[in-house]
Structure 1
Amino acid sequence: MRRQTATGGLNPAGSGRVQRLDPLSLPLSFPAQDVRADGGVRQVELHHERVVLRRAVKGMRMAVNVRVSDFIGVALCDFGGEQMLTLVHRDPSLSIPLGVSSDRDEIESAWQTWSDVLRLPQLSEQAPREPAARRRRRNVIQKRRPRFLVRRRAGRPLDAPNVHRGEREIIAQD
């Protein structure tokens, strides 16, 4: 029998022991390894529809809320004689470890269960991935007129004189 932690899940992923999170007991909250966070640890809250990643970087606390549908799938990686189960995002820093085991049958059944519970495809990952390419900004052409000004009509120039045609003008001189 495994020992339950105070956060409601089994032994946390990434703690160095053979562990596995239970996909049938969502929502889960557990710590995971993060090299960029202060202390090297981030707190992960895993729900059916979303994942919340909480960490502090240089003293600034942040929470990243990601929809489960934004993840690519559940990957099974060979990790030095052990199998590692990961929830894979296109940005590798948002990927989440779900469990590690040396028992191939146990980890494959967990792989299938996580895929079914989260409604994501099963992926087999062989090589480490590169970070996703940075997306282009919306304002590629910076010299163009801003979007809200396009809707407005252009006014008349300030130096244009007032011209009155077809009127009789009365000029009074003092």
Structure 2
Amino acid sequence: MGFKLGEWYVLYVRSRHERKVEELLHENNIEAFAPMIKTVKQWSDRKKTVLKPLIPSYVFVKINSTKDFSKALSVNGACMYIRFGAEYAKVTENEIDKIKILIGTKDVIDVKADFQIPAIGDIKEISYGPLSGLRCKILENRNINKILVSINSLRLNIVATIPSSFLQQPVQLGY
């Protein structure tokens, strides 16, 4: 069928149905993850912090059986699995963990997903905090740093702002 059991796949869902699809998948005992980020909405008379999807219309689904693969697609709001050519888009457990850490860290702000790969930037390693050990690409430097964490299997980049003090040169391994 083109998928492997125990892997994370990307389910494309109707616009603004990410949380609902995630809830329905959990109700069907299917592990799912729809990364949400806090953002401030500005109206003319007030500001409000709201949750919005990091990657609009995407829900990550862990497929543990052939039945899960079909059941996930039959949930109200689910449209199709994302594919790259003949292959279903897969995301590793490590990449899912990176996204969870990134969106769950209070010192990391301005988190955005970007499907474009930047051409320039230094590679750094985060040396402090819960993201310690993560390599990233610097996009900006003004006492704060915009970093890029690549989720290669999705051809996706996640951009966030972290304090400069969190960064160091990565250790070069001589092979």
Shorter-chain TM range is: under 0.3
TM-score, normalising length: structure 2: 0.23
Structure 1 or 2, whichever has the larger Rg, is 1
More relative contact order, 1 or 2 (CA 8 Å, 6+ apart): 2
More strand by share: 2
